[in-house]
């Protein structure tokens, strides 16, 4: 197995830097003792970050073909020694994740470092000075120029310093920010100030709710953990990031939720009095593990620890909405809004919950206002897409879907939009759905569409057979949307079907009356 030739010889991650040419690993510039085999495993990881690497791939990369050793033991030993060198843990991984029955995956952000350019001494023959008349300015004029420019430069530097200081102070105080809100008893002090600064930067980017922002947040939270492995808030931030990455990026839920769950559990272990940690754990339990009872317990614990936690009320509201407890959901989202009136994500979810509770005009108006104020925010487009479909505004439905797909950089979704537009033009609503279903069926085996999406489209067409078949596949695949099926009117035609009721019983969700 050969690595890509264009792999940068210097790679940074957290406090570490790997020099792939010299085979050295450094932490804060200090060389870390690491043997050849674990370093070669590291080299393979860094060449293919975020990919699952099988044990067979490690075997072929680490040993020549004619060598016969206990490969399984050798691979496990190399991974364990690599984790030891990095201070990593298999239970709460920051760098190397074990993917059960499949292999290992590098999960930390990495950065290529351009080696410093070599300076070469060039000997030149001294030249006689040019005549004074040809100089661009005299010494006297040069003095006056500096007398004019220097004060401006000093003022500019002072202004820049003041802006940076103000920004830093705002990050430290973070008034009304749900991500940083806490009760007095919940300690947040890091073992070192540097870890806390990385944490605050992570929260700043997490609040943006964009693919780039969330990926940067993961990077900063990871660096905070590397600097202080017992800093609970950084694990909470990591869990919160993974809980959202599967919504705002194309990261599969099957990858995001196990990472969120591991980080949230570690945060609770480090600080059981952290409201944020219990809220993050509740989110991952419900959407990742389909554990409604466990999620309810953790949400209530989070609110008990900090009744003024906007994230706890916010996520509890969406949990209640998914279970069709609509009036309770609206009450919770309004509590969250009162605690953090400026949160776009709370307002967007409020619009969706208002609509689903029957307050259609209020919900749609709020979402339109959000869309107008921030066209780059994904959630309003996603919710308005469903509202347009429910109102039989299919052109509006496709326009919102297209905008969502562009913001998500989701090329399969864009293909579906084009197919749906052609179907709508040729055969109206039915033609639109037929084109969507045909393409979704092609995309599903390629991993580019979910079984739940196929089932939803089939159900809207009245195709019970395909709807039930793909719902079973969604259940087998543990697809996250399935947990919210009782809040999806596309499946109303299946409510009285025995197979559908059996599926609901397996989910341990209330069967629709």
- Is residue 244 situated within a structural domain? yes
> What CATH number does the domain containing 63 carry?
1.10.10.10
pLDDT at 9 over 90: no
Q: What is the pTM of this model?
A: 0.70
- Is residue 491 situated within a structural domain? no
Do 183 and 299 share a structural domain? yes
Q: Where a domain ends, among 254, 275, 307?
A: 307
Q: What is the pLDDT of residue 64?
A: 74
pLDDT at 157 over 60: no
CB 355 within 8 A of CB 364: yes
Do 303 and 194 share a structural domain? yes
Q: Where a domain ends, among 258, 288, 307?
A: 307
Do 289 and 193 share a structural domain? yes
3-class DSSP state for residue 125?
coil
- Is residue 64 situated within a structural domain? yes
Taking all residues of the chain, what is their mean pLDDT, rounded to a whole number? 83
Q: How many domains does the chain have?
A: 2
- Is residue 401 situated within a structural domain? no
Do 21 and 101 share a structural domain? yes
> What CATH number does the domain containing 213 carry?
1.25.40.10
- Is residue 62 situated within a structural domain? yes
Do 183 and 108 share a structural domain? no
Q: What is the pLDDT of residue 239?
A: 94
Do 185 and 303 share a structural domain? yes
Do 104 and 186 share a structural domain? no
More confident residue, 511 or 280: 280
Q: How far apart are CA 201 and CA 217, in angstroms?
A: 7
Q: Where a domain ends, among 112, 147, 165?
A: 112
Do 191 and 288 share a structural domain? yes
Convert the pLDDT of each residue in 201-242 to its tens digit: 999 999 888 888 898 898 889 888 888 888 999 999 999 999
Q: What is the pLDDT of residue 1?
A: 53
DSSP 95: S
More confident residue, 331 or 182: 331
Contacts of 468 (CB under 8 A, 6+ apart): 455, 494, 497, 499, 500
- Output the six-digit token pair for 300: 């209530």
Do 187 and 275 share a structural domain? yes
Region 281-293: what's the mean pLDDT? 94
3-class DSSP state for residue 396?
helix
Q: To which H or E segment does residue 11 belong?
A: strand 10-13
Region 241-265: what's the mean pLDDT? 89
Q: How far is CA 468 from CA 169, 461, 491, in A?
A: 55, 13, 10
- Is residue 209 situated within a structural domain? yes
Region 337-354: what's the mean pLDDT? 95
Percent of the chain with pLDDT over 70: 81
Convert the pLDDT of each residue in 449-462 to its tens digit: 999 999 999 999 99
Q: Provide the domain limits for residue 259.
A: 179-307
- Is residue 87 situated within a structural domain? yes
Convert the pLDDT of each residue in 457-505 to its tens digit: 999 999 999 999 999 999 999 998 998 888 889 999 999 999 999 998 8
- Is residue 457 situated within a structural domain? no
Do 199 and 291 share a structural domain? yes
């Amino acid at each position: 197995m050969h690595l890509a030739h264009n792999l940068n010889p210097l790679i940074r991650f957290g406090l570490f830097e790997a020099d792939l040419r010299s085979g050295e690993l450094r932490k804060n510039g200090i060389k870390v003792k690491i043997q050849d085999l674990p370093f070669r495993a590291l080299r393979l990881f860094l060449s293919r970050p975020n990919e699952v690497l099988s044990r067979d791939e490690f075997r072929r990369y680490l040993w020549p073909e004619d060598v016969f050793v206990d490969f399984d033991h050798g691979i496990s030993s190399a991974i364990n020694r690599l984790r030891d060198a990095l201070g990593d843990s298999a239970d709460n991984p920051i760098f190397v994740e074990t993917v059960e029955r499949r292999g290992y995956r590098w999960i930390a952000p990495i950065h290529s470092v351009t080696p410093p350019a070599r300076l070469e001494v060039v000997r030149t023959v001294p030249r006689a000075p040019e005549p004074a008349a040809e100089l661009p300015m005299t010494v006297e004029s040069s003095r006056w120029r500096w007398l004019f420019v220097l004060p401006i430069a000093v003022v500019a530097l002072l202004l820049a310093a003041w802006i940076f200081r103000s920004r830093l102070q705002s990050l430290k105080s973070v008034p009304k920010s749900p991500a940083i809100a806490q009760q007095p008893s919940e300690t947040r002090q890091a073992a070192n100030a540097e870890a806390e600064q990385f944490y605050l930067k992570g929260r700043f980017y997490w609040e943006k709710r964009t693919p780039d922002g969330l990926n940067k947040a993961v990077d900063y939270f990871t660096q905070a953990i590397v600097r202080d492995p017992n800093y609970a808030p950084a694990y909470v931030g990591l869990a919160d990031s993974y809980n959202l990455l599967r919504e705002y990026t194309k990261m599969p839920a099957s990858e995001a939720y196990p990472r969120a769950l591991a980080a949230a559990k570690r945060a609770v272990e480090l600080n059981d009095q952290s409201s944020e940690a219990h809220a993050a754990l509740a989110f991952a339990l419900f959407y990742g593990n389909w554990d409604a009872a466990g999620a309810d317990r953790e949400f209530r614990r989070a609110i008990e620890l900090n009744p003024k936690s906007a994230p706890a009320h916010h996520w509890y509201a969406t949990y209640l909405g998914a279970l069709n407890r609509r009036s309770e959901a609206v009450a919770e989202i309004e509590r969250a809004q009162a605690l953090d009136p400026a949160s776009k994500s709370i307002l967007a979810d409020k619009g969706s919950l208002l609509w689903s509770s029957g307050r259609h005009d209020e919900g749609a108006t709020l979402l339109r206002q959000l869309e107008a104020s921030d066209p780059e925010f994904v959630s309003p487009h996603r919710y308005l897409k469903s509202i347009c479909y429910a109102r039989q505004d299919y052109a509006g439905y496709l326009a919102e879907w297209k905008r969502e797909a562009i913001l998500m950089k989701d090329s399969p979704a864009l293909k579906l939009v084009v197919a749906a537009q052609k179907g709508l033009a040729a055969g109206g609503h039915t033609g639109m759905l037929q084109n969507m279903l045909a393409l979704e069926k092609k995309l599903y085996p390629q991993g580019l569409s979910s079984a739940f999406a196929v089932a939803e489209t089939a159900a809207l067409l009245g195709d019970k057979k395909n709807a039930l078949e793909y719902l079973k596949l969604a259940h087998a695949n543990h697809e996250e949307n399935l947990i919210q099926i009782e809040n999806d009117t596309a499946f109303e035609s299946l409510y009285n079907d025995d197979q559908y009721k059996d599926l609901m019983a397996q989910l341990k969700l209330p069967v629709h009356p």
